[in-house]
Chains A and B, each alone.
Chain A
Amino acid sequence: MVEVIDSIFSIFVQGICLSVVLVRALKTKRREWQLLFMFYAVYFFSSIYWLLYVIFYDESPAYTHIAEFGFYVSYLVMIMILQDVRDKEMDGVRYKRLFFIPVFTWGMAGYYIWFSEGDYISNIICAALMTSQIWGAVKGILYNKKKNKNYPEKLLYRSVLIICTMEYLGWTASCIWFDVSWTNPYYWFDMMFSLSLILLIPGIRRVVEK
């Protein structure tokens, strides 16, 4: 029951975000909104598929990973958004601090692989996508901080980092706590993750209004 409530809450939040972004994308015809629409659409339909599967079969999809494919693609779309909004002069700049990011993401992937005793492919894909997302956001923050403290991409970059943090907290909690109840922090992190997706809308709006 907890899992179903959590999924319904996520779908509700994503559905609202999807509707808002659809209207914005149609009105402004800006690529940033269209990409964000794709991000929400992929996430929304993947969550619905996951929920229906859990309701009808009382377990997670076992053979193929249609929902996971959707989640990974939504990360990829997020990387595209970060790529689209970046300052083009940023490309040639290097920051040594950024190399802490792959250390963290691949370290976490190693932990998840060790914990799950397998599941190499999905953890490797996740680590690669998460590295790119966090890299893009942190690089954007480091680059823009020196130029202008109130740069328009600030909220978008921070939102991406909050989303990634919630995702990692959820994944880690699911390795430690297994009970299907409200005492399991995983469900709380998952709901906070869903709520943090809302932040992308004002984040993109500021970029578009730049």
Chain B
Amino acid sequence: MNYIENIYICLAAPLIVSIFCLNTYRRRMILLLLSGMTMCLLSSYISTFVASAYGMPVELIAIEVSPMVEEIMKILPVLFYLLVFEPKWSWVVGSSITVSIGFATFENVCYLLRNDTSNIQYLIIRGFGTGTMHVVTGMIVMFGMQVVWEKLWLRLAGTLALLSISVVFHAVYNILVSHPGVPAYVGYFVPIATACVTLIIKKRADKHNETETKPDQFSE
């Protein structure tokens, strides 16, 4: 049995200490990383509760409950950050991805402690697959937010749309990887391919926007 609260405390402790030692930008990034890990812990509780309330088979939890719960939980810190702190866009850009990284890291640690860690080949595939999937859903939210956040009436529907895309993307990934063999390998490949395509598109878009202001995220 895994005591994920204990794992969480152990992983979060150095991050909490580091918050007091860093400058504003890095402190926010660590807080977002920590919030991603916290959301992963809470998602685990909520998914388990929902599954037991519905009396669902274990196999279906990852396909029907987890994507919805996890993506909603992941978007909450980003929304909180945007609405409460109203940061510059150059600061926002990495926030969603940072939350996703925290989430994926904690999920991977829990997975490693629960399962056999001897097969490095499988762990590399799984690590890159699941980790990238969380980062890709974070990227979807991040890029989309820049479009929908400019007008108030767009925000609610736009955020729901982004959430929906990330939920369904996550669910498709989970369906594929839960079936061993070719579907699983296709599933592991999809997030990496999506991330590559997204980055290529972003680089091209950035080239067109070279005249715009450069990000100042590392300035004090």
Listed in ascending order, the chain A residues whose CB lies under 8 Å from chain B are 22, 26, 29, 31, 34-35, 38-39, 41-42, 45-46, 48-49, 52-53, 56, 61-64, 66-67, 69-70, 73-74, 76-77, 79-80, 83-84
Contact = CB atoms under 8 A, between A and B. Distances in A.
20 contacts: A22-B201, A38-B162, A42-B161, A42-B168, A45-B172, A46-B168, A48-B168, A52-B175, A61-B63, A61-B64, A63-B65, A64-B65, A66-B168, A69-B164, A70-B165, A73-B161, A73-B163, A76-B160, A77-B157, A83-B153
B161 A77 contact: yes
Main SS class of interface, B:
helix
Given A38-B144, A46-B164, A76-B160, 10 more contacts: A38-B161, A42-B168, A49-B172, A52-B172, A52-B176, A70-B165, A70-B168, A73-B160, A73-B161, A73-B163
B169 interface: yes
A80 B65 contact: no
B94 interface: no
Interface in B155-201: 157-158, 160-165, 167-169, 171-172, 175-176, 179, 183, 201
A37 to B, nearest CB: 9
The range of chain B's interface size is: 20 to 34
A52 to B, nearest CB: 5
B164 A70 contact: yes
B56 A80 contact: no
The 9 residue pairs across chains A and B that have the minimum distance between CB atoms: A45-B168, A73-B164, A64-B64, A38-B161, A52-B175, A34-B147, A76-B157, A63-B64, A80-B157
Nearest to A27: B208
Interface of B: 54, 56, 60, 63-65, 67-68, 144, 147, 153-154, 157-158, 160-165, 167-169, 171-172, 175-176, 179, 183, 201, 204-205, 208
Given A66-B64, A79-B157, A56 B179 contact: yes
Contacts of B163: 73
B161 A66 contact: no
Contacts of B179: 56
B67 A66 contact: yes
Contacts of A46: 164, 168
B167 A66 contact: yes
B147 A31 contact: yes
A67 B67 CA distance: 12
B168 A63 contact: no
Contact of A49 (B158, B168, B205): B168
A76 B67 CA distance: 21
A26 B205 contact: yes
A100 B179 CA distance: 49
A49 B164 CA distance: 12
Contacts of A29: 208
A63 B60 contact: yes
Contacts of A48: 168, 172
The interface centre, meaning the residue of A22, A69, A83 with most chain B CB atoms within 10 A of its CB, is A69
A105 B165 CA distance: 27
Nearest to B67: A66
A29 B208 CA distance: 10
Given A38-B161, A56-B179, A61-B64, A70 B172 contact: no
